[in-house]
Structure 1
């Protein structure tokens, strides 16, 4: 588990002896089931609870390969799309919704690359050549009208200079003559932004061109807009500080005086459909990308309470907007071909919100169990029992797990977040584009940019499925790679992706603060600690605890043992939290100053980012924990003799939301996983 800082090692709560073992040998060894706010497992209504199957030596087992083989055909595509949706989908629908359309999913990698080449060819052609050759390409046939709508909007958003035409179910693209005409009047970048504004059609929105001191030129722009978009927009020139610019506003739809019918009211009510998603070896956002492409909606039209592990079988609640229960039912077979099962489909009145769950249930198998010193099976069983009882009674340090910081081997997300908080856009971008080990195309593209600074050439090298990197490189090519250009590149990413890096830094600092607190102060509440207060003294804190519920322990309260360690919370840095009033509070100040954030407001106006902060319990506790040891047989394909027997631990427990099962296992086993 890669959560250690350079100076503070993670702590354990108990001092029992640990043991070694392997987890996630297969997805069936790690099953995660979401627990809703009512305390119900989300799969309990429609699906039988699945638990990991152990190949016990005394029981004959049936084949366990069938489900893996069923999904084998999808492995390549899944690997290609693994990282696409996290950067193109903004959480909770923030940002420009058209960003959520993923052309790589909608069109497929080969067609997407052909479209990129077609677009580049158009840009490089002379105008006479475009007119005479009538350049055009087909994107394929899309029988589903929702998918066609998604393709139309996605292409126009990514390539504003192109227009899409439907011929029956086939979609073709060619250069948009209106774009060509406008780009002769204003800079090409402004023309692109204007056409995105027109396609978005956000009610009440406006678009302003750059100031223009030439009245005759402004008149030409006004005439063009009136001629081409007069029914849709109205234009006015506004003067400010002796400079004049044209502002374009969408016309309001005139409905005054018209009596609203029941049908009108019905149309204004959004349709929301809830369901339970079962997925295997698939990231939550990747699954959403597949489903949105099939249903022809935006990824941001899906809402969920939490992200679930990839290397696992997981069950979670979801809600999709604009899709009826009937339409969702019609697509079940297509989802199954992607390795997903949708069940418990029902109408709901609103979307889900992140964090709106009680927790998660885990069914785990730890295989090849061994003590660090050889001992008998009876002694191993006693050791496991002691470890489980200790974590049940004393809990574990509530560290953020390694997935919070990304999977990068060289530069993790918290370092990028630190650079962003210091508003050093250039350094943040260089860290973001730091290559990993390996000589694949994406690493070649990153190395090329860092060595040459040529974003255009790096963009040509970057694989089509690396959407986040391509968004950044395209912006760098357009705006340059200085401080301002890098800032424009960062703002090109959806809000959820930008703020992820800031949260990663704050999470890393929280982990270090937890280690410092336990290494420096007693393992009991002391004066100056922050505690979460509630009607029940022994009720643990939650990460949603707000400042009004947080209390600073007094000297008298420490002496009288008023509070317990399970009520102690540590702040996640931000601009609304208060810090402990003891040595830990000073540690926060010194640690932030060490990183150059002594006066940080945790707000980056240029990137539209704000980090208010929150409070996280120092300790977490598993609930309803059960375990059993079982003898298993290792697979053997060469030995004619019976395979050797090993010991496996079957473990089940519940955790509150935002707690990590791997961190709980680390406390139990006393080893990094």
Structure 2
């Protein structure tokens, strides 16, 4: 916890230790009733025999041999890939222009074969003005079918042919024939068709191909690896590609109801001593899906036992049950597995329930003679009545780490991509495979070598390294590296920086104005609005409202920095401007276009209340009290339980109760 943070209440508090073991800190999500993943309205589990045939094909039926031709519904070659494409171009363009296009295509391929980087080769070839819309559509199709490595763009009425950068990138990973056939398959867009790459025994190479397709065509296509037999009858893995079901119009079944195209499985994840994203990394690697296929309502503590609902896409309940025992070895248990019909959203929870044990109870050093029992009772009643400052907790910033997440977020906001990568790979002071790999990377910038050193579950690190291996550890390469990890992970670091600024702003606000609501403060008139984002509900307090004491400190909000929020019109607003200028940030810079990050900002209440607070002391009869009727400090533990709203931190509430920094 940052030492500059303030306290709201005036009681003395006491000392103690939390998180002696994960079981001392248990967190259970309180779901929103209508969105609970254990809702009785969820779809019942299906036995394997009840899985609809549409779901079992083709993923559940791996190919017997590699197939690299685009196929129709019955596995026949696509008729549009034959010689018709050539005659169509002759008729649409005329023979002379068609021959010039052939030469352009040939020169481009030769240039690609000769160069090793950059954009070598002719820049583009004009087909001239094409006024008729049907002719333009015919040309687009005919060019793509004859030359899968070309793309056509229309500028005004003029059609330009250029090299397809995605084609060029893929042909550096697989053979020319596979690349050509893949793009013909992609262009044909035949429902229920599949495409398979040649058998590939190199796991790391397969991952690169998987990631290329997901990065470039993830909204349209999905991939899976299957065991196939190569030409020597040796088992190898092959990557199969198919169109995502959601890209086809929903069919109606015989009873007139729409069939569900997406498969979602809900479960409760119990984890111990694991970050939420780390746990998802383990699950994704074991299930063969992407981390982005998991949805959840919030990030949970690492040093705790936590229970939270999750939903995973494209995985059956039966498949999830299969891996349950293996996940227990990683510190996870999977409960309440069942089918559901939708994913979860961040913040889609009522709150969290905490059951916490505080051990090693002691007086503060400046308060040695007080009755510890009275100190505990006084503290509990004070916070129950007055609440606590709604700071972001230390786990938001990577407590105890050499580099905290907000530092990475600031580097990203300043578009210092290489610095952000170096901060990301800064190791901790321990000797283990992950930190040894990070040290190696910082010393050598050898992304490929570092990849082999990292364990499989380090999903974010591996995603970033694969891009760095391909593009280099420079500004462009590091930008592409950050783009390689999911958006939710990229923005996590930026939000950490915004949270740090909010914490500092809250301390400054309470230092100069205390708990009195003053002119220029921002307030939320309706206390039921937990989080307000970019709307007109936030009100600026007037001088007359200050005089009338119209609002309480429980209604005051401070902005989370962003490009679309308003700031207090008093000294706090000025503080924001000065604080951001220290980090070389201006108010309009909370958009990082190269990383597709947009940070509009929101508002957060300064003070929050704790709900359902209860506690008791545990120890032997002789341990609880000595002959002076005072607590025997060494033998007693405090059990405390309470509920908090979403995005509130139990460590922050305990800090207010105990007047300790953790």
Distance 1:460 1:335, change over 3 A: closer
Quick check: 1:245 aligned with 2:162?
yes
1: distance between equivalents of 2:273 and 2:381? 31
Q: How does 1:367-378 map to 2 (within 5 A)?
A: 367-373=359-365
Q: Do the aligned residues in 2 keep the contact of 1:499 with 1:609 (CA within 8 Å)?
A: yes
1:311 paired residue number: 303
Unaligned ranges ≥5, structure 1: 46-144, 157-182, 193-208, 217-225, 636-642
User: Is the contact made by 2:284 and 2:290 (CA closer than 8 Å) also made in structure 1?
Assistant: yes
Tell me the CA shift for residue 28 of structure 1: 1.9
SS of aligned partner of 1:548:
coil
**Aligned 8 A contact 2:363 2:370 in 1:** no
Q: 1:210, 1:246 within 8 Å by CA — same for their partners in 2?
A: no
Residue 494 of structure 1 is aligned with which of 480, 486, 496?
Answer: 486
Mark the CA change 1:214 to 1:375 in structure 2 (over 3 Å): closer, same or farther: closer
Q: Secondary structure at the match of 1:369?
A: strand
Map of 2:595 onto structure 1: 607
* RMSD, matched Cα: 4.6
| 1:528 positional shift | 0.6
Residues 377 and 343 of structure 1: CA distance in aligned 2, closer, same or farther (over 3 Å):
farther
**Displacement after TM superposition at 1:408 (Å):** 5.8
Q: Is the 8 A contact 1:37 1:356 kept in 2?
A: yes
Tell me if the contact between 2:152 and 2:160 (Cα under 8 Å) persists in the aligned partners: no
| Residue among 651, 658, 662 paired with 1:669 | 658
Q: Secondary structure at the residue paired with 1:276?
A: strand
**Deviation of 1:575 (Å):** 1.1
Equivalent of 2:617 in 612, 629, 638: 629
How many equivalent residue pairs?
Answer: 507
From 262, 273, 276, the equivalent of 2:253 is 262
| Inter-CA distance 653–398: structure 2 relative to 1 (3 Å threshold) | same
Instruction: Give the alignment of 1:102-113 within 5 angstroms.
Output: none
Q: CA separation in 2, counterparts of 1:40 and 1:498?
A: 27
**Do the aligned partners of residues 184 and 265 (structure 1) sit closer, same or farther apart at CA in structure 2, a change above 3 Å counting?**
farther
* Alignment correspondent of 1:596: 584
Say which SS state the counterpart of residue 578 (structure 1) adopts: coil
* 1:363, distance to aligned residue in structure 2 (A): 0.8
User: Aligned runs of 1:149-160 on 2, under 5 Å?
Assistant: none
Q: Is the 8 A contact 1:32 1:362 kept in 2?
A: yes
Residues 17 and 375 of structure 1, relative CA distance in 2, 3 Å threshold = closer
Pairing 1:211-360 to 2, within 5 Å after superposition: 212-213=121-122, 236-238=151-153, 244-247=161-164, 250-253=187-190, 261-262=252-253, 266-325=258-317, 328=320, 332-336=324-328, 338-360=330-352
Q: CA 1:529 to 1:465, structure 2 compared with 1: closer, same or farther past 3 Å?
A: same
The aligned residue for residue 98 of structure 2 is: none
Q: Does 1:22 align with 2:22?
A: no
CA offset at residue 316 of structure 1?
Answer: 1.6
Tell which deviates more after alignment, 304-313 or 338-347.
Answer: 338-347
Aligned position for 1:13: 8
> Are 1:551 and 2:551 an aligned pair?
no
1:540–1:567: 8 Å Cα contact kept in structure 2? no
Q: Paired residue for 2:555?
A: 567
**2:577 matches 1:660:** no
**Residue of 612, 618, 624 corresponding to 2:606:** 618
**Where does structure 2 lack aligned partners over 5 or more consecutive residues?**
41-54, 67-107, 126-140, 165-182, 193-248, 624-631
Match of 1:134 in 2: none
| In 2, Cα distance between equivalents of 1:301 and 1:262 | 27
Question: Does the 8 A contact of 1:281 with 1:313 survive in 2?
Answer: yes
Does the Cα contact within 8 Å between 1:234 and 1:250 map onto a contact in 2?
Answer: no
CA shift at 1:446, angstroms? 4.2
Task: Report deviation, 1:374.
Answer: 9.3
DSSP 3-state at the match of 2:28? strand
Deviations 1:534-555 (A, max 9, x none): 2xxxx36523454322111111
Equivalent position of 1:528 in the other structure: 520
The SS at the match of 1:664 is helix
Deviations 1:64-100 (Å, cap 9, x if unpaired)?
Answer: xxxxxxxxxxxxxxxxxxxxxxxxxxxxxxxxxxxxx
Residue 427 of structure 1 aligns with which residue?
419
In 2, are the aligned partners of 1:529 and 1:582 still within 8 Å (CA)? yes
Question: Would the aligned equivalents of 1:279 and 1:313 in 2 still touch at CA under 8 Å?
Answer: yes
Q: How many angstroms does 1:430 deviate by?
A: 2.7
Cα distance, 1:478 vs structure 2 = 3.0
663-672 or 321-330, larger mean C-alpha shift: 321-330
Contact 2:28 2:353 in 1 (8 A): yes
Cα deviation code 1:263-307 (max 9, x no counterpart): 697554323333333333333334334444555544333221112
1:482 deviation in Å? Answer: 3.2
Q: 1:455 to 1:373 in 2, by over 3 A?
A: closer
Aligned partners of 1:261 and 1:38: how far apart in 2?
31
Q: Is the CA contact 1:43–1:315 (under 8 Å) kept in the aligned structure 2? A: no
The higher-RCO structure (CA 8 Å, 6+ apart) is 1
TM-score normalized by structure 2? 0.66
For 1:243 and 1:41, locate their aligned partners in 2 and report how far apart those are by CA, in whole Å: 52
- 1:27-106 superposed matches below 5 A: 27-38=22-33
Deviation at 1:232, TM superposition (A): 13
Query: Is contact 2:402-2:426 (8 Å) kept?
Result: yes
Task: Please say if residues 34 and 42 of structure 1, whose CA atoms lie closer than 8 Å, have aligned partners that are also in contact.
Answer: no
Q: Per the alignment, do residues 446 and 585 of structure 1 end up closer, same or farther by CA in structure 2, a change over 3 Å counting?
A: same
Where does residue 354 of structure 2 map in the other structure? 362
> Distance in 1 between the 2:259 and 2:147 partners?
22
Matches within 5 A, 1:469-484: 469-484=461-476
What is the CA–CA distance in structure 2 between the aligned matches of 1:390 and 1:373, rounded to whole Å? 21
User: Does the C-alpha gap of structure 1 residues 303 and 492 become closer, same or farther in structure 2, counting only changes over 3 Å?
Assistant: closer
